[in-house]
A and B are shown apart, each in its own frame.
Chain A
Amino acid sequence: MKLTRRDLLKLAGGGAVGFMFSPIPWKLLRDSSVWTQNWPWIPVPARGPVTTRLTACTLCPAGCGVKVRCVGGQPVSLSGIPNDPITRGGLCAAGIGAHHLAWHPARALRPLQRVVAGRPGEFTDVSHDGALAQIASAILGARGTVAILDEQPGRAISAAYREFLSALPRGAYLAPPAVARSSLAVLRGLYARDPGPLGHDLDSTRLIVSFGAPVLDGWGVPGAVARRVADGDLKVIQVEPCQSATAKRADRWIPIRPGTEGTVALGLAALLVSRGMADPAFLKGDVAGYLDALRGFQPAYVKEISGVDEATLTSIAMELTRSTPAIVVGGGDAGGGPLPRQDEVAIQALNLVLGAVGRKGGILARQGGAVDSFPGLDAAPPPMDIADVPDGSLDVLILDASSSGSALSWPVVASKLAPNALVVSLSPVVADGARYARLVLPTPSPMTLATDVPGHPDAADATLRMAVAFGTPARAAVDPVVFLNRLGTAVGIVRKATAAASMQDLVDQRIAAVHQAGLGTVLGTGDAPEVPVSSLSGASDLGKLLTDGGCWRNRGQADSPLPPHRITAIAAWMQPAPAVRDGYPMTLILTGSRGRAVGAISSPMLSKVDQESGLRQTGQMAAVNPRTAAAQHLVAGKAVVVQTPQGVLAARVKLDPGVPPDCVRLTVAPLLAPGRNDVDPLSLCAVTDRATWRLVEARIREA
């Protein structure tokens, strides 16, 4: 039988069909995909004993306790500490992936220098010595201000920064508006003289009325709030224009027109005062001007401006007086920029009207002792708000890599720089502010440097934990204390109070100071007894307890005397309805989740879990109300361009009834590909009213 070409083709055809029904292609595909995960250059934890250690998270000021599971000494998984007395087992998504950041593709592997006239994020290599010489030369030749921007003031390294700057003729220790102008900093300004640090005492609070603060999305110490809400011990009323993650989980969401938070707060205060529900002690203060101003905020006016009717306003007021202790919090959304100062004053004045300050479950005087100060630096001023720095006045700006958890728009920083100013970033990754810096000096990644972790500065209970170093930092990473020492030598500055050879050395000094003060107790986890610091024989005992996962705590004082309050900032509270600018009929609202509302980096695991699965939007999704979409003929999923006077961003439409009509919402989130094609939504915003970038005029059109 002769085989023809056609016969061979048929034989091959049968073979091809059989091939598809055999395991050969599928097994090879599957095994090859596994093989790609095991290439020799992919780091894998060494085989070794499985151990568990407790440490503290350094990614935001909350300083949550973290349980670390290690294999062969290397962290492989993080979780909250279930019986932690402060965080109650909570740990946010960013914290769970903190150990991945040491391997992030955007990490700085060597000192970098920005390419002249290059785009943000375009760098070339430079030596440590070369970089240091440039910084020293810029500091010595500076005619303007030399500043350090620290987003987590209160750490031991922060004290070293302050001392270094105090030795310079024009040194300025700066913090972002979200920190320097926090809600409680505003509240401190409503007293005749500074009452000292204040903090929220949330252990027995029964109601929080939040004006846009992400109370259930990473605010404060996230686990503590979330657990009380889950247990039904704490109610939340969320007042904000968009239905945020907190608004979805809150007991009530009160939608308001964008930018009317202050009006609603004043309307509530007017209602409480007019119905005799204000705290009698409040009325005895210097508040005549405030009470006069409140007369203008009758329910009809509040409804006209904010859209909140009298019945709703009354129900919130009744709830505030019924569910005591209650507090009112401001601060706004983590991605949307801080609230204007006048709105914060209106919101914090409500706490005084309610008598929430000085009451257990309200706002208490914080007794931080050696944690809120550093020995020898007690007289040092608090950080200055970068928004208060004159425009174009900074000759040298050093950016510390810590994060406040809230977004800081780069234009806010850029507007303060002098022409040819030197911006230096001390950062483990080339992202966020580091992309705009002229020099990037790599610092150890999170979890590779032992450091102190003071708890949330807005908590009534002052706390201190220790972050333990797991493994060694990258070879080129420089300990910030060592950097400061070398820079000091180069410019002739000798630090005395914070003299230390390394970060560990500096942290040991702080622990010694806490021990010497003898205040507070050290909390263990689970059934471990609370140990008074005064009972410890030496600082090394305190250091060991903290390194083993203990948490130093000093309770806020409910009976602490406060100075008389005085509310005088009443100008510009009455506001007309916002005018619509020609060509920009919509309002751009930015939102973001706390801790991740930054243009920085995120664990690749998180981008898989929430961004790529759509659980959290990226800046590339433009959410609009379905009614607005219908009016503008926008279809879900369609490519559009969001345009503001400052820039454009390509996005896809998402329909969301939680967005107010005539508004478009973009999310500030870690960029999936920093420095490539992603556009940071913050770049669309004009910076107004002292570093606020809320409510930007915008339009949306088809791409």
Chain B
Amino acid sequence: MNDRLRRFKGLLALGIRRQKGRVLFLVGLLAVLWAGWVLFPPLMYSSTEQPLKFSHLVHQGKDAALTCNDCHPFRPDGSFAGIPSIKVCADCHGEAIGTTPDEKRLVEEYVTPGKEVPWLVYSRQPMNAYFSHVQHVKTAKIACEECHGDHGGSDELPPFQVNRISGYSRAIGGASTAGKAILPTELMRMDTCAECHEKNGRRSSCLECHK
């Protein structure tokens, strides 16, 4: 066994010596590919934790049994309310219902003084992009999960990641590093929109979204 191992090592060393150039080329190639695909992407983004821990799962679960529309409704004029205001939270959390420290902070720091929670919005689009929730949800009957993934079923909020150069949220900033969504929050990019429109035969002009 040892002989075989020694012979293998010998042959390997011989091969490396003979193919030293090719091996070094391969090493350089693999090292940079690893750095580019593994090390580099996380460096591109800065992470910030949300001001409070929040569980969509708890709110959707048996006890609260809320639907998306209960906290993220459409206004009477058809526009989308987006992140709920503190008044919506105060409807249930005028006083703490549970025992978690974050709920306590919610009540003390935000509900009682009537201050809005400075949530960091993953899906906030740039100013040059126009997106109508009512067109997609009401008219096209697209489920919230199609674009937001299982965000509503998550037990905790992921960190808010911002591209250090462009300043855009990771969820919306152009094509993802791999060309496909890696994180569940990377579903709100222009490529995703274009792909879905193409698939559904809904070809749009530039000005439809970039007004």
Contact = CB atoms under 8 A, between A and B. Distances in A.
B175 interface: yes
Nearest to A32: B165
Interface in A1-58: 1, 3, 6-8, 10-19, 21-24, 27-28, 30-32, 34-35, 37-38, 44-45, 50
Contact of A34 (B22, B41, B165): B165
**Does more than half of chain A's interface fall in helix, strand or loop, or is it mixed?**
helix
Interface stretch (A69-77, A135-143, A681-689): A69-77
Interface residues of B, number: 38
Interface stretch (B23-31, B64-72, B193-201): B23-31
A22 B174 CA distance: 17
Interface in B164-194: 165-168, 173-175, 177-178
Interface in B12-65: 16-17, 20-22, 24-33, 35-37, 40-41, 44
A7 B20 contact: yes
Given A18-B29, A30-B174, A76-B127, 12 more contacts: A1-B17, A10-B25, A11-B25, A14-B28, A18-B32, A19-B32, A21-B36, A22-B35, A27-B177, A31-B166, A44-B127, A609-B206
Given A31-B44, A69-B211, A18 B31 contact: yes
Contacts of A17: 25, 28-29
A7 B25 CA distance: 8
- Provide the main secondary structure of the chain B interface: helix
A151 to B, nearest CB: 29
Given A22-B35, A23-B41, A45-B127, A10 B21 contact: yes
11 contacts: A1-B16, A3-B24, A8-B24, A18-B32, A22-B32, A23-B37, A23-B41, A31-B166, A31-B174, A34-B163, A50-B79
B130 interface: yes
A344 to B, nearest CB: 38
B165 A31 contact: yes
A359 to B, nearest CB: 41
Contact of A31 (B25, B127, B163, B206): B163
Contact of B173 (A21, A34, A45): A34
B20 A1 contact: yes
Given A34-B168, A45-B127, A12 B41 contact: no
Nearest to A18: B32
Contact of B40 (A16, A23, A38): A23
A1 B68 CA distance: 64
B32 A23 contact: no
A34 B166 contact: yes
Given A1-B17, A31-B166, A34-B174, A22 B28 contact: no
A22 B36 contact: yes
Nearest to B211: A77
A23 B36 contact: yes
A30 B36 contact: no
Contacts of A7: 20-21, 24
A264 B99 CA distance: 90
Contacts of B16: 1
A12 B16 CA distance: 18
Contacts of A3: 24
Contact of B33 (A11, A18, A38, A71): A18
A35 B167 contact: yes
Nearest to A49: B79
A77 B175 contact: no
A30 B20 CA distance: 37
B80 to A, nearest CB: 10
Contacts of B26: 14
Nearest to B79: A50
A11 B40 contact: no
A11 B166 contact: no
A21 B37 CA distance: 9
A24 B24 contact: no
A228 to B, nearest CB: 24
B177 A14 contact: no
A31 B168 CA distance: 9
Nearest to A12: B28
A22 B37 contact: yes
A3 B28 CA distance: 14
Given A32-B165, A77-B130, A14 B24 contact: yes
A10 B28 contact: yes
Nearest to A46: B127
B33 to A, nearest CB: 4
Given A44-B127, A69-B211, A71-B127, A11 B177 contact: no
Contacts of A37: 128
Nearest to B165: A31
Contact of A14 (B29, B165, B174): B29
Given A7-B20, A24-B40, A44-B127, A15 B166 contact: no
A505 B168 CA distance: 45
